[in-house]
Structure 1
């Protein structure tokens, strides 16, 4: 048993991190490599305008500049694909960090050491944050290098802002899954709860601009604070980043508080 829960968690997930890292590199390179073809296809903009506004809102975030570097990556990666993958990884990580260990009967081995419960949750949380930022940095590097190779002219400032915002979004939902797992000790419940909130967040953010009475409630969607200010084009919005950081802090606090008081099924 490693003295550091953080290091043990990273070691246990090294193969998963390798798989996800390679996958992100392949996705980034594939999408960027197709951009010169899209850019040269002058009719693509007119073709996209044929789709109803609702369809564009659901799948491209309503982006109407599909042939620019920022518009293309926003539609193909940053609006749906990349944040969805990050959230899948984060929710799986967060739900298995404590609840998964408890269901597998390995949590008692960790707590048999002179280790306070709050430290266990804190180190598991640190491993979650480290893993997500590691994957996001890999993705950022793959996009930066491949976009330079194809002469995309992509702003690294905007790319960094979008990747950082995606990392915060992923950590937020990972923290939600961790909090539910710490409170209830059931991995399936934590995954389904966080997953349902992802669906709610996505639909609320995309449909609110199309429905007048729903528009004021858009600010209740964590997804809005990730993509609402278009960080790929406009850079990082400090207020939106602070809101996501606040969500993370709240649910990590809930995770620690509930886990310290709960009777464990081990």
Structure 2
């Protein structure tokens, strides 16, 4: 199997990858630079402690407010839970949702498939191109965070910083796979991309608020349930089982996409 599609799609994403990597790096650096002030204020503020006792627990957990008393907690609860997991996941789902359907709408897919290449190969290589933004951002961002922590106190544990990115890869791939399914199920690119944003954000809210109800077990359908940055950075616990579940879910979603794509009319 040639990798021309993967190479083309990967190169096509380089510009946006650079932009999102720089954005995440600068945002992370902002969190690092403001960490000494924020953590000190939170620790010593009786008003903040009072607010924490009054807010619903699901709200506190959804926005990572319970872990703002340390640099690791601030990064895990605010940056990695909200910015990295939610917004990067949304970006990848949005990108994947516009991939196959976008090529069909632009009449590029029929030209591509006129060459000796299978639909299965096109779909898999298109999906694997998501590794370009994932891997580049996962190298740039922790490197910038580490360098930033060299100028403040306290420093950060490098192993946990690396592992939070390593274990986020299965989660991010799963988000992209959700977008891929929508790309072959829905009738146009805009609809697929809007649906990807809606589905991912709804899953995030669902996973954040339903655990306190009698139907808390339903939160397990959300990929966010299997990636916990607080657990990694604050407790040093690495949940490889959850990572495996996310990879398995990604494979299933790719298989569903492949089943639909090989049987759909692209004219």
What TM-score do you get using the length of structure 1 for normalisation? 0.88
Distance 1:130 1:42, change over 3 A: closer
Higher mean alpha-carbon deviation, 13-22 vs 39-48, is at 39-48
Maintained 8 Å contact 1:208/1:214: yes
Partner of residue 59, structure 1: 63
Task: State which of 95, 98, 105 in structure 1 corresponds to 2:97.
Answer: 95
Higher mean alpha-carbon deviation, 88-97 vs 156-165, is at 156-165
Maintained 8 Å contact 1:175/1:251: yes
Unaligned runs of at least 5 residues, structure 1: none
Structure 1: how far apart are the matches of 2:126 and 2:82? 27
Maintained 8 Å contact 2:14/2:132: no
Q: CA deviation at 1:4?
A: 0.6
How many residue pairs get aligned? The number is 261
Distance 1:113 1:41, change over 3 A: same
Partner of residue 174, structure 2: 172
Maintained 8 Å contact 1:38/1:44: no
2:226 is equivalent to residue 225 of structure 1? yes
Partner of residue 47, structure 1: 47
Partner of residue 38, structure 1: 38
Higher mean alpha-carbon deviation, 150-159 vs 19-28, is at 150-159
Structure 1: how far apart are the matches of 2:247 and 2:185? 21
Q: CA deviation at 1:109?
A: 2.5
Task: State which of 254, 258, 261 in structure 1 corresponds to 2:260.
Answer: 258
Structure 1: how far apart are the matches of 2:187 and 2:140? 32
Structure 2: how far apart are the matches of 1:214 and 1:147? 41
Tell me the secondary structure at the aligned position of residue 143 of structure 2. helix
Q: CA deviation at 1:186?
A: 2.5
Structure 1: how far apart are the matches of 2:230 and 2:151? 28
Tell me the secondary structure at the aligned position of residue 71 of structure 1. helix
Q: CA deviation at 1:218?
A: 2.4
Maintained 8 Å contact 2:184/2:261: yes
Q: CA deviation at 1:229?
A: 7.0
Maintained 8 Å contact 1:229/1:237: no
Structure 2: how far apart are the matches of 1:42 and 1:225? 28
Partner of residue 199, structure 1: 201
Q: CA deviation at 1:151?
A: 3.3
Q: CA deviation at 1:228?
A: 7.8
Maintained 8 Å contact 1:86/1:166: no
Distance 1:3 1:185, change over 3 A: farther
Q: CA deviation at 1:45?
A: 5.2
Tell me the secondary structure at the aligned position of residue 79 of structure 1. helix
Maintained 8 Å contact 1:175/1:248: yes
Structure 2: how far apart are the matches of 1:34 and 1:157? 22
Q: CA deviation at 1:84?
A: 2.0
Partner of residue 16, structure 2: 16
Distance 1:47 1:137, change over 3 A: farther
**What pairs up with 1:39-188 in 2 under 5 angstroms?**
39-41=39-41, 43-44=43-44, 46-51=46-51, 52-54=54-56, 55-60=59-64, 63-188=65-190
CA deviation profile, 1:86-107 (whole Å, cap 9, x unmatched): 1122012201221111112222
Maintained 8 Å contact 2:90/2:175: no
